[in-house]
Structure 1
Amino acid sequence: MSTPGLLANRGFRRLWLAQAVSLFGDWFTYVAVGTLALSESTGLAGVAAVLVAHTLPRAVLAPFAGRLADRRDRGVILVVGSLLRALVVLLMIAVVGSGDAGTVALAGLVFLRMALSAFTDPAASAALPQLVPAHQLGSANALLGATWSTLFSLGVAAGGFVTAFVGPRGALAIDAATFLLAALLFATLPRLRPGEPIASEASASAIDSPDFLAAWRRTWRDPALLQAALAKMPVALANGGGWFLLHAYAGLQGVGAVAVTLGVMHGVRGLGTGLGPLLWARVERLRGTVPGIHLGTAVTLAGVALFAAFDLPAVLVVASILWGLGMGATWVTSTTRLQLLTPNALLGRLAAIDLMAHTCAQCLGGLLGALVADALLFPAAAGWLGAAGGLLAWGLLVLLVRSRA
């Protein structure tokens, strides 16, 4: 991966910096919101509610977001989306500590904030091939993935300690400031209109219709594109169950230790998420390939299963690293492959299909895990169910792609 060459590209450098700033704020408040969900008034039911609020709006709005990203300047979408998310976070600060009504309002605002990210995520993904040539897309995605995980580790670790000492309001204020700074950086990007010449032009033919269903039909007819668009579903199912289990473990540590425990556990997982893309980028047979996706999926499922099987600290650390390593590798590899296979006119909608598929899978994995864990009074059941669901989805996806070939 040639990082100096990538960062010499002014457009990519600005996109990378803007996303880095925004991500740090996101992960800084990740622990704050999780801590609020594990409060005495909500408990593990609140964890499930937060998971839904973090995932469902992105899935519901993905078709509209993808269509917008294929009709309007993607840079403008990123700027406006960041400003609106800053406003929502400021409103979240106002309702923290307002009792039961504040808890309901907070969940609604988290829902709105994630709904806005449903528009910025496809726009950012679609913008990348317009800024980076095809031969550098794998390296660019690996760098973005490594940045994501590094900031995840730093953000949740810092957020855990800051939330423990200054409370959720301070963490949310930092998050709002990062969204404002990200908007300023996004505003310096060149025009990123769909249909204009791009740095990486895919070989597949584009379609003129802006309809989301037309993009799905195009994807359904192309087995390679279908596999890339749905590749994250198995690991997202496993991640949903594992996410609930991780929060359940943290909730057992006592009210005063919840924030720090969440920060440390998420931070360890984030280290693995950064290692995966870097390792896969060094191996040509894994970089942007189907075998790379399959290996990443297998490592993810093994990590989540190991996390559910043992509650020994040393084993949980190893399991968390494997869990993150596989997820990071799968995310970057499938995203790179999707961008290479997709023409510019479809980039937004294919990114939205990808977003909708994996967010629905994560929501389903978390909710089913929560229901089973509560019914059995056995938190580890959430992790086992997530790993088993991911394995089943992986097998079904392989069969589906082969049947379309």
Structure 2
Amino acid sequence: MKGAFIDLRPLRVVAYRRLWVGQVLSGFGGQLTFVAVMFQVWDQTSSPAWTGAVGLAQALPLIVLGLFAGTLVDRLERRRIYLVTTIGQLLVASVMASQLVFGRVPVGVLLVLIGVQACFGATAGPVARTVLPHLLTRDQLAAGIALNRIGFQGAMLLGPALGGLIIGAWGVGVCYLIDAVSFLAALYGVLGLPRMQIESTAKPGLRGVWDGLTFVASTPVIRGALITDLAATVLSMPISLFPVINAERFGNNPRTLGLFLTAIAVGGVIATVFSGTFTRLPRHGVVMLCGSGAWGIALVLFAFSPVPWLALVCLAVAGAADTLAVVSRSTIIQLYTPPELLGRVSAAEQIVGQAGPDLGNLRGGLVAQFTSPVTSLVSGALLCIAAVAGVAASTPGLRSRTSEGDGAEAGVAH
């Protein structure tokens, strides 16, 4: 039974522990801002298309800059890049917090600020993903990823619910202020990292990007992992639909809006607490495929839930399934990617893992605008299930056992 619980060994590494604490606190602030942005945009526009546009503002910088940022991470000293991007995000968060003094900005200005912060995130994300192999041994990678996941889910569990309370009591500006302060914790964590200079073989500009894309396209396991995640995010992300569902069923109460996101987090936290049941398994691809398929099934059930409590249970199941898929996907990326390519492959993973949901939220909002929230949810979830089944059938490597030799051949080191 002990082996079922999350593996805490990575927290014994001081630099990892310090970084993890900083990421958890800044993640909490980020969740407050997410709820504040969604509520502010909906409050000022009453349009699901505009709430979907929030996702577009976050996704475009990741798509346009992400792979170039990955090349930069593979060429330069990684700790310095991490410091610059964290400070940049802190400054943008501070500007957003200034609404507490000067009042709300127009929606267009808010989207621009979100886009600028996403530009820094386009580099911060890939460099953060390259840290674990520098800090942890190979057999601790999956555990470290699971710990990162439970930190994110814990912030998601508390952040949205508290965000709704804070918005109801003091307004969106206080959420933005807390987010800005939380970036100081992230900065503290990054300052504790060692120098992370690798022997670079990355070519500058488009040539380096092309090398990274070629590796992803020619490695079936990594390609299949990223396609599976795209199926679960671009096709079936439901979050942009939460405001309109909240308005239709729960009287547009901001506290209820927070509960939707909290329910997903509850399932994710439970799955991560017992992550030892799947991080120690040798078939990470099978776990990922099952998690992605279960995500789609849970969303179909959520769309047709007749009572609110059942809808929240379905979202919790979706959150648990998402955790299985995300942890397993990231483990596959770490195990099969050589260190000199990890920045670029991590950038591709970030585009899929972050821009994918943003584009999925845009898709969900637009489909709901012209049809209905239920139609948008169900059509996307069914497409997700079909796509996952297609990847499972066409990529036998994802169904195979991950052996010690696989990681060695991929050049993974610590």
What TM-score comes out, normalization by structure 1 length?
Answer: 0.89
Q: Deviations over 1:138-161 (max 9, x none)?
A: 111111111111111011111111
- Equivalent residue number for residue 18 of structure 1: 22
Name the CA shift for 1:172/1:109 in 2 (closer, same or farther; >3 Å): same
- Equivalent residue number for residue 276 of structure 2: 281
- Equivalent residue number for residue 203 of structure 1: none
Structure 2: unaligned runs, 5 residues or longer: 401-414
- Give the letter aligned to residue 395 of structure 2: V
Q: CA deviation at 1:351?
A: 0.8
- Give the letter aligned to residue 33 of structure 1: V
Q: Matches of 1:208 and 1:41 in 2, distance apart? A: 45
- Equivalent residue number for residue 382 of structure 2: 388
Aligned residue pair count:
391
The answer to whether 1:315 aligns with 2:310 is yes
The answer to whether 1:300 aligns with 2:319 is no
- Equivalent residue number for residue 258 of structure 2: 263
Q: Matches of 1:188 and 1:284 in 2, distance apart? A: 27
Q: Matches of 1:231 and 1:27 in 2, distance apart? A: 25
Q: CA deviation at 1:287?
A: 6.1
- Give the letter aligned to residue 393 of structure 1: A
Which among 82, 107, 114 is matched to residue 111 of structure 2?
A: 107
The answer to whether 1:237 aligns with 2:234 is yes
Which among 105, 128, 132 is matched to residue 128 of structure 1?
A: 132
Name the CA shift for 1:284/1:15 in 2 (closer, same or farther; >3 Å): closer
- Equivalent residue number for residue 411 of structure 2: none
Which among 345, 348, 364 is matched to residue 343 of structure 2?
A: 348
Q: CA deviation at 1:93?
A: 2.8
Name the CA shift for 1:320/1:136 in 2 (closer, same or farther; >3 Å): same
- Give the letter aligned to residue 389 of structure 1: L
Contact between 1:275 and 1:328, CA under 8 Å: does it hold in 2? no
The answer to whether 1:337 aligns with 2:332 is yes
RMSD: 2.5
Name the CA shift for 1:272/1:397 in 2 (closer, same or farther; >3 Å): same
Q: Matches of 1:305 and 1:286 in 2, distance apart? A: 28
Q: Matches of 2:44 and 2:298 in 1, distance apart? A: 30
Q: Matches of 1:52 and 1:275 in 2, distance apart? A: 30
Q: Matches of 1:90 and 1:46 in 2, distance apart? A: 24
Trace 1:38-49 onto structure 2 (pairs within 5 A).
38-49=42-53
- Equivalent residue number for residue 243 of structure 2: 247
Q: Deviations over 1:322-344 (max 9, x none)?
A: 11111111111100111011111
Contact between 1:2 and 1:139, CA under 8 Å: does it hold in 2? yes
Secondary structure (helix, strand or coil) at the match of 1:266 reads helix
Contact between 1:299 and 1:323, CA under 8 Å: does it hold in 2? yes
- Give the letter aligned to residue 228 of structure 1: A
Q: CA deviation at 1:363?
A: 3.6
Contact between 1:369 and 1:385, CA under 8 Å: does it hold in 2? no
Q: CA deviation at 1:286?
A: 4.5
- Equivalent residue number for residue 368 of structure 1: 363
Q: Matches of 2:219 and 2:324 in 1, distance apart? A: 23
Name the CA shift for 1:42/1:76 in 2 (closer, same or farther; >3 Å): farther
- Give the letter aligned to residue 329 of structure 1: L
- Equivalent residue number for residue 119 of structure 1: 123
- Equivalent residue number for residue 57 of structure 2: 53
Q: Matches of 1:283 and 1:3 in 2, distance apart? A: 11
Which among 211, 214, 219 is matched to residue 211 of structure 2?
A: 214
- Give the letter aligned to residue 245 of structure 2: Y
- Give the letter aligned to residue 214 of structure 1: D
Q: CA deviation at 1:262?
A: 1.6
- Give the letter aligned to residue 230 of structure 1: I
Contact between 2:296 and 2:381, CA under 8 Å: does it hold in 1? yes
The answer to whether 1:139 aligns with 2:143 is yes
Secondary structure (helix, strand or coil) at the match of 2:198 reads coil
The answer to whether 1:401 aligns with 2:398 is no
- Equivalent residue number for residue 84 of structure 2: 80
Trace 1:186-197 onto structure 2 (pairs within 5 A).
186-195=190-199
Secondary structure (helix, strand or coil) at the match of 1:193 reads coil
- Equivalent residue number for residue 328 of structure 1: 323
- Give the letter aligned to residue 293 of structure 2: A
Structure 1: unaligned runs, 5 residues or longer: 197-206
What TM-score comes out, normalization by structure 2 length?
Answer: 0.87
Contact between 1:365 and 1:385, CA under 8 Å: does it hold in 2? no
Secondary structure (helix, strand or coil) at the match of 2:234 reads helix
Q: Deviations over 1:251-293 (max 9, x none)?
A: 33345x1x21121111111111222334443236746611111
- Equivalent residue number for residue 406 of structure 2: none
Name the CA shift for 1:39/1:97 in 2 (closer, same or farther; >3 Å): farther
- Give the letter aligned to residue 318 of structure 2: W
Q: Matches of 2:115 and 2:13 in 1, distance apart? A: 35
Q: Matches of 1:296 and 1:397 in 2, distance apart? A: 13
Q: Matches of 2:388 and 2:367 in 1, distance apart? A: 21
- Give the letter aligned to residue 182 of structure 1: A
- Give the letter aligned to residue 181 of structure 2: A
Q: CA deviation at 1:383?
A: 0.9
Q: Matches of 2:287 and 2:312 in 1, distance apart? A: 24
Q: Deviations over 1:2-21 (max 9, x none)?
A: 64432111121122112112
Name the CA shift for 1:97/1:91 in 2 (closer, same or farther; >3 Å): same
- Equivalent residue number for residue 220 of structure 2: 223
Q: CA deviation at 1:230?
A: 3.4
- Give the letter aligned to residue 154 of structure 1: L
Q: Matches of 1:18 and 1:120 in 2, distance apart? A: 14
